Structure 1
Amino acid sequence: MNETFNARKYYPTAVALYITYFVLGIAASIMGQYKQDFAAMWNAATLADGTYDVSGVVAVIAAIGLGRLIAFPVAGPLSDRLGRRLSALIGCALYAIFLLAVTFSPNLYIGYALAIISGMANSFLDTSITPSCMEIFREKGTIANIFTKLSISIAQFLLPFAISFVAVRELPFNTIFLVTAAIIVIDGIFLVFLPFPPFERTIKTANTKKERMKFTPAAIALVCLGFTTSTTFMLWLNCNQELGTLYGLADPSKIQSFYSVGIVLALFVSAALLKRNVEPAKILVAYPVVALVTLGAIYFIQQPVMCLAGGFLLGFFAAGGVLQLVTAVANEMFPKNRGVITSIVMIASSVANYLVVSVAGVLTRVGGAEGPRLVLLFNMAVTLIGILLALYLNACLKRERAAAREG
């Protein structure tokens, strides 16, 4: 551990780890693109307009969040005690199982179980890739962690083109699933042999019980930010199409394109800010403030163009690596428990995924045609709480630094 650390030695490992997040980006969203195909495969009821009832498929997709919640309590400690490699390989194996099997599942119950496996794969990758990036790039670990979001965004940007390619050539709908499975299997084989950086291993002994994680007010605020930062973009993702229709936008699907461009631009801008030594905690205040103003503008200015502009701005200021910044700051706070703290932050994110989307569903039913605007108000409330938490986090960190200087 005292010898000079050579980061270049681990660059091929970093590339392989980023590829796992590329696969994650596809796996997390591809079922949503083929809801009708899965509904037909699982013998769903036919609606009056000739399409299939996809409610069962939506329930299966929601199980991905359940899988994340199940695995995170195990994945974090495993990564800290047994190594990042094992956690990454388990994630790769679980994704391979999901991608290979889900399009052959005979009913939605098997599909539900496989979706849980997909969520578990997500958890094991999160608790490997985030700490590994911090350990490979060290001084630039926060920037490196933000770019995990870029891998996901590239995958989700390319996915519609891949779907069109498959459709034009009349290939089976499971083609992308099988190709993606092949990518994760090959990448997993590389990860078996590529070197991983040294890390501060957590070993459970009688002596280390005294070194338990100390959750300061700043750490608790960070975990809560895992919930609020996730909520802002998740609620937007789940209401923007309906909102576009309500506001008279001719093609609501364009909102997603503007949103994706915003995400990619934000990642590069955030990386540039961090390179100039702007504190991540300050970005965690600034970005949600702009997101809140954007949500308010969309609520009050009921014009189609606001949906497109709002999609771009929320992609930039809500989804453009803000959650990754939260996990990076948390990793710096707990260098000996990076896998565990990543798990805890992501559990908060997973709870947001399940809870706020459920609330959004209730608001949509209660509000009828105005439901999407009620979701906007709910989103504004949670985002405001996130801003207050981020301000509190900055105050705590400022006090901690002052105490350290005096000490």
Structure 2
Amino acid sequence: MKTSKYQLLIGSLYFNYIFQGMAAIILSQNMDKLKTQWQVSTSQVTLVMSAIGLGRIVSLYFSGYFSDTFGRRKTVIVAILSYAFFFFGVLFSPNYQLAFFFALFGGVSNAFLDTSTYPTLVEAYPDEKINSSLSVLNKAFISLGQFILPFITRYLLQKELFFGWPFILCAVCLLANLGYLLFAKFPPLSSLPNKTQINANDCEKNNNIGDFKIDGAALLVFSFVSVSIFNIFILWIPQYAESMRVVSHENSLIFVSLYSVGSFVSVFFTSGIVKKGVNIPKLISFCVGISGFTLLWMLLAPSFVSTIVASLAIGIFAAGGIWQLGLALMLELFPSRKGKYTSYYSLATSTSVMITPYITGILSEHGMEYVFWFDVFLVLLGFIASLVIQQRYKKFFPTEITEPLE
């Protein structure tokens, strides 16, 4: 079958990521409304946000097994139904305890969506040049969702309409998309390795280049930090801008859209610059450093201009693909068990999604500036980790500049 016949399928799968992007920020965008509905504090709302990370952690391994065993179609069905439970469940929960339970489905759907979409992409387009370029669209669609939602929320606030309409819209659109995916033609499932192949792989000589206690640990720290930097930013920048009297509550939501613009543009910029053959460890250090400087400027001189610059900079330099570059380095240094080390790297990310909302929720009750000082601390930690990675990489590849990615 010609791969062109899968274009509509791939478009449908990536359409889901618009709502994954919205799911990541929808609770923070409606924090005041949810606090009132559940009669709770800020930290209790952020505890509900943390459940998304917990849901992803507990389903991370099983989702991959489910996808390989039962197929991509059933996996994406689970993902969409889980998102429906998340959006409807959180919205109509009478208390935060029940909302916490439904928020777990947000993490489950996140894991199942990834393990259905990426393998389908590779199976539909076996040519690495094609599937590598298409994989960039994942982040682009997430950024698109995070760009659109603040405008919807702002409109509802200004018109004093029911805050839950975006929750309902997300669930309805996903279920409508499911109607197509139920009957769509998926590519044949890739053959799984047989027992003989698995035993042979187990007996292979370990050809890892790096020392996991040093290089692996530094990359796991970077994985945790790189996601934390932009997640903290998009969760709290509206409240920070409002508390610093930079803009009104309604207009504060637009900073998330500016962040999303930066992230969207940077996805393609990062892909292009890496193809030119830049040194990836140095690029990572540069991006983390710029993120730190703009956050410091925003904290030390809070203003409309500094907040705009920080929003764009975090989108461009922290959320534009450096996490993926870190994963590429992990697999380059530890090539013998790619699946194993990818799961370690993703686990660090999921841990960040689980604990940082709750920690920053507690800090926010003492002052919004403490949330972003914590973010600056994480940037510093990530910068140190990136320097370790840079020096170690230079040791292993003393004359090598990272080869262009196809």
Normalising TM by the smaller chain, what interval?
0.7 to 0.9
Instruction: Quote the Cα distance in structure 2 between the aligned partners of 1:231 and 1:186.
Output: 32
Contact 2:210 2:333 in 1 (8 A): no
Is the CA contact (8 Å cut-off) linking 1:226 and 1:326 kept in structure 2? yes
Q: 2: CA distance between counterparts of 1:124 and 1:225?
A: 24
Distance in 2 separating the partners of 1:246 and 1:167 = 18
Give 1:174's aligned amino acid: G
| Residue in 2 that maps onto 1:381 | 380
| 1:139 pairs with 2:138 | no
Q: 1:231 aligns with which of 217, 228, 231?
A: 228
| 2:109 is the alignment partner of 1:121 | yes
Partners of 1:118 and 1:189 in 2: CA distance: 20
Question: What CA distance in whole angstroms lies between the structure 1 residues aligned with 2:68 and 2:197?
Answer: 17
SS in 1 for 2:195: coil
Q: Tell me, yes or no, if structure 1 residue 217 matches structure 2 residue 216.
A: no
Which deviations, in whole Å up to 9, do the C-alpha atoms of 1:217-275 show, x marking residues without a partner?
38835544322311222333355456546766345555434322211221231233245
Map Cα deviations across residues 340-360 of structure 1 (whole Å, 9 max, x no partner).
665443221111223444554
From 40, 53, 57, give the equivalent of 1:69.
57
Equivalenced residue count is 389
1:101 corresponding residue in structure 2: 89
Cα–Cα, structure 1 residues 349 and 376, in superposed 2: closer, same or farther, change >3 Å? closer
Q: Does structure 2 conserve the Cα–Cα contact (< 8 Å) formed by 1:68 and 1:123?
A: yes
User: CA shift at 1:285, angstroms?
Assistant: 4.2
Q: CA offsets, 1:276-322, max 9 Å, x none?
A: 46576664344224324434554565665333212211110001233
Shift of 1:62: 2.0
- Residue in 2 aligned with 1:249? 246
- Structure 2 stretches lacking a partner, 5+ long: 402-406
Paired with 1:353 and 1:381, the residues of 2 have a C-alpha distance of: 19
What aligned pairs does 1:3-402 form with structure 2 within 5 A after superposition?
A: 6-42=2-38, 44=39, 53-135=41-123, 136=125, 138-164=128-154, 166=156, 172-197=162-187, 200-203=190-193, 205=195, 207-212=197-202, 217=210, 220=216, 222-238=219-235, 240-241=237-238, 244=241, 249-251=246-248, 253=253, 255-276=255-276, 283-298=283-298, 305-327=305-327, 343-360=343-360, 371-372=370-371, 374-391=373-390, 394-395=393-394, 398=397
The 1:300/1:210 distance shift into structure 2, 3 A limit, reads: farther
Q: Tell me, what secondary structure is at the counterpart of 2:320?
A: coil
Q: Is the 8 A contact 2:238 2:255 kept in 1?
A: yes
Q: Which amino acid aligns with 2:390?
A: L
TM-score of the pair, normalised by structure 1: 0.78
**Tell me, what secondary structure is at the counterpart of 1:193?**
coil
> CA contact under 8 A between 2:42 and 2:362: conserved in structure 1?
no
Please say which of residues 174-183 and 282-291 is displaced more in the overlay.
282-291
Cα separation, 2, equivalents of 1:162 and 1:79: 34
